[in-house]
Structure 1
Amino acid sequence: MKALLLAGGLGTRLRPLTEQLPKPMAPVGNRPWLEHLILQLKEQGIGEFVITLKHYPELIRSYFGDGSRFGVSIAYTVEEEALGTAGAIKNAEHLLGERFLVFNADVIQKVDILPLIEFHKQHGGSATIGLTRVEDPSQFGVVDITPSGRILKFIEKPPIGQAPSDLINAGVYLLDRQVLSLIPAGREVSIERETFPLLIQQGLGAYGCHMRGYWLDMGTRERYRKVHWDILDRTFPLPIAGHEQSRGIWVGEECVIGSGVLLIPPVLIGDRVHIGDKAIIGPNTVIGNDCRIEREARLSETILWDKCRVSRGAQLYQCVFGYEAEAGSGHVLYEAVVNRMKEAMTV
């Protein structure tokens, strides 16, 4: 069975970090999220992937190639114009089989797909939608569902207290090929607003399956930071690269840590990182590969992507720095988001 990974979104809510980067390529625990997704699906038996591209497509294509480096096979489609969720699926029709999985590739999750597959075989409908529970369903697309799992209707962002359930669309689908016949070609189509309601109307069977495991839409800066805090405290059991030097402190290869450096767990340090004397790092801090932290710098609840530089005495609190971003000597930044163009935005 193939998995179709929808990776063409613009990631507008994560800007400026995603201005020149596809959102699924944002690093999570010092590795692009899309790589994590492919590897965890590979562990569950998925070996063939189709990735839909639009925003800076070559960054994804050049990173993954044909997939052989990761032990999988990858094909691609490119959207010339925005096609929406269903439109992107239709655009990949020629690469899909009689039954296939679909994932919103910018949603962070670690779930077992086998129950979804087994449930789909049992109910006999055309579509199974992975569902997850959330505390506040008013921010998402909610489903009204029968005890047998048949979906009666979708309600997009219902008013607080008026949602029929706390189960929302998790952005994971198992579809039979006949669903593709309901999607018009060549225009933007929403699978939630058009395709699934049409499935229900025509009696072709749309069912929901509660998927247990970790799930979080990393669409905002706050949620992006939360994903990392969940990794560090192991609420989200994503594999962590590097040696656990002591409890809650992971250090990569070829790192240089100066004298008098204080590491306050949890902290994740990538490969080839240089940390100057008397720097204080942590808690809840992730440092990417090839970063340089100069002496007496202070980082707390901060995420640095690869090749960042923090100059002497700079202080970063609850910040996110994109690739190659810099903090000048003595700078004090709080809740700053700095992209690779070295432009800061305070939120």
Structure 2
Amino acid sequence: MVQCVILAAGEGKRMRPLTGSRPKVMLPVANRPMLEHLLRAVRDAGIVEFILVVGYEEAAVRHYFGDGSAFGVKIRYVTQKRQQGTGDALMSAEPHLNGQFLLMNGDMILSLEDISKILVNSAPVLGVCTSDHPQDFGVVTVANGKVTGLEEKTEFPKSELINAGIYLFNRDIFTNLAGITPSPRGELELTDALMPLIHEGRLSAVTLFSWSDMGSPWDLLDANEVLLQDLTPGIFGEIEEGVVLKGAVHIGKGTVVKTGSYIEGPCIIGENCRIGPHAYIRGATSIGNNCHIGHSIELKNSIVLS
């Protein structure tokens, strides 16, 4: 049975101050932590055993996901005590891995369809996607379905393909990891362990089409807009007279939308909120639990944290 390792130990410094009191993977998109969207997609692809590598503010992850039973999966946790790179993070999970496994960065959004495309292949596999700014990522070159080169954040990229941070491995990768040395920034880089596979022509590339990187705050807004396109409408709160709801709108329990408010979907509003009176909430907006959107406030394309 294939297992899944998700790297969720980082703070996400480029997300400050949003990550001042929570890990990056717990930032909400469409009113769920980005890590939950990823876990659900992997689960729906048929994987039920997860190893989460945690570190910064790890209690938030452990408390929210628990043993995984609420999500129909089994979760084990491994703590990366020091931020010493992706290679070090993966090695910390080794004792819990039995055979073939999926490895993913926790700070991205990916569809069930793309995850399934990875899983139908035999390890080792690297997920890649096209980018209009490949110089900000690991740049990948591919020939005949095999990775021929991988270069980190180069000023002159040789390709528009980038490393999407999702891999299918078997336990052979740990032999490669044992042979790498710290990079100039003092970290054990997983990409260094890929080089023997690339030189031997063994690393397959699978192109992804739904990948969203969560590197910066504005990436949250882009992903929020995409995920809300599949929003299931539902009204579980109180709607006063004179309120207009248009399109896909989901309103949580205990929330009151006061008179004169106008809400255009797609929009999700959490539990125990107070909206209005005369608030105007426009599309691609997510409002967390226990929020107050006051008199005559207008919101559009926004995420309001709980």
Report the TM range for the smaller structure's normalisation: 0.7 to 0.9
Count of residue pairs the alignment pairs up: 291
Task: Return closer, same or farther for 1:98/1:241 CA change in 2, 3 Å cut-off.
Answer: farther
Distance in 2 between residues matched to 1:67 and 1:284, nearest whole Å:
29
> Offset at 1:128?
0.5
Separation in 2, partners of 1:42, 1:217: 20
Name the counterpart of 2:178: 184
Alpha-carbon contact 1:277-1:296 (below 8 Å) kept:
yes
- Counterpart in 2 of 1:70? 71
Q: Equivalent residue for 2:240? A: none
Q: Evaluate the alpha carbon distance shift between residue 117 and residue 277 of structure 1 in structure 2; reply closer, same or farther with a 3 A threshold.
A: closer
C-alpha distance 281-114 of structure 1, shift in aligned 2 (>3 A): closer
Q: Is the 8 A contact 2:147 2:201 kept in 1?
A: no
Residues 241, 130 of structure 1: alpha-carbon distance in 2 compared, 3 angstrom cutoff: farther
Mark the CA change 1:26 to 1:242 in structure 2 (over 3 Å): closer, same or farther. farther
**Greater relative CO (CA pairs within 8 A, separation 6+):** 2
Query: Where does the alignment leave 5 or more consecutive residues of structure 2 unmatched?
Result: 237-244
1:22 and 1:56 in contact (8 A); partners too:
yes
| 1:111–1:211 contact (8 Å) kept in structure 2 | no
Partner of 2:202: 205
The equivalent of 1:138 in structure 2 is: 135
> Residue 254 of structure 2: SS of its match in structure 1?
coil
Separation in 1 of the partners of 2:79 and 2:274? 39
Q: Are the counterparts in 2 of residues 242 and 253 from structure 1 also a CA contact under 8 Å?
A: no
Relative to 1, partners in 2 of residues 1:58 and 1:163: Cα closer, same or farther, differing over 3 Å?
same
Task: Give the TM-score of the pair, scaled to structure 1.
Answer: 0.78
* RMSD (Å), alpha carbons: 2.2
TM-fit CA distance, 1:174: 0.2
- Cα displacement (A) at 1:28: 1.0
Query: What residue in structure 1 maps to residue 120 of structure 2?
Result: 118
1:260 partner SS: coil
In structure 2, give the amino acid aligned to 1:196: L
> Given residue 176 of structure 1, which amino acid in structure 2 is its aligned partner?
N
Change (3 A) 1:19 1:198: farther
SS across alignment from 2:172: helix
Q: Which residue of 2 aligns with 1:292?
A: 292
Distance 1:291 1:9, change over 3 A: same
* 8 Å contact kept, 1:242–1:270: no
Structure 2 length normalisation: TM-score? 0.88
Secondary structure of residue in 2 paired with 1:177: coil
Once the 2 structures are TM-superposed, how far is the Cα of residue 91 of structure 1 from its aligned partner?
0.9
Alignment partner, residue 45 of structure 1: 46
Structure 1 residue ranges without an equivalent (≥5): 121-125, 307-347
Aligned to 1:223: 219
CA distance in 1 between partners of 2:286 and 2:134 (Å): 30
Letter in 2 for 1:65: G
Distance 2:154 2:178 in 1: 27
